[in-house]
Structure 1
Amino acid sequence: MTGVPTTGRDGGADSAVFRVLLRMEIHTGSERDFEETWLEVGDAVTGHPGNLAQWLLRGAAGEKEGRGSVYYIVSDWIDEPSFRAFESSAAHVRHRELLHPYRGAGSMTTMNMVYALRGAGVR
């Protein structure tokens, strides 16, 4: 099996994808409202020129912490400086304000992708 080095938008060796993983505990009973709000405000992220993609994932059935459901938000960026520029923007502050009422707790992890292996099901 051969891994393919991942690249950002320009495909250069110095443009490895920068990934951000947010883990959020959403208050019980507000999951649907959170999902709808995330979808409505998602263009604040995907509209940034440094963003490659974004996903919202719900923890497997029964994955709960404290009093809420666990969600994960994954976003890929062309590089870390692009993400940091978004993170300090007014668009990000507004995005965070709209999602904050649903959140009980959370954490953020950042990483640089090294390799990506395509599965047989990719078309």
Structure 2
Amino acid sequence: MIFILGVIIVNIKTRGYILGFVCSTISVILFNYLFTKPRYSLHVIGRGIKYLSRLLERTVICYLAQENKLSTSFIYTVIKGGKDRSLLNKDEEAAAYWTFVNDKESGAGTNTFYGAKGYYIHLNYIRRN
């Protein structure tokens, strides 16, 4: 309830929806990190990425790190009955890899790989047993 109260206060005290969205995202990540098993990790199951795609009404591509390389991508799209493959090309993969290596955002709306169609962020988690 404290996390929800924080989001509500931010929405009341600020204009627009961007800060509220950022606050709610941080709230969910903190709750996941602190209270869900495995604790002290940001384990994002495939179902979470699927729901994120539905929530944002956008295609979401997830790469997993395997031995300092990116895995084959998992694609979740809001297009029913099909796959949106517009983000699966060498330029988009280069932006995703740069984000993975540098741990910084890249792609559309940023100063790095600003010509990319997608927006890339690096989610890091440590699995503890």
- Does TM, normalized by the shorter one, top 0.5? no
Q: TM-score, normalised by structure 1?
A: 0.27
Structure with the larger strand share: 1
Structure with the larger helix share: 2
Higher relative contact order (CA 8 A, sep 6+): 1
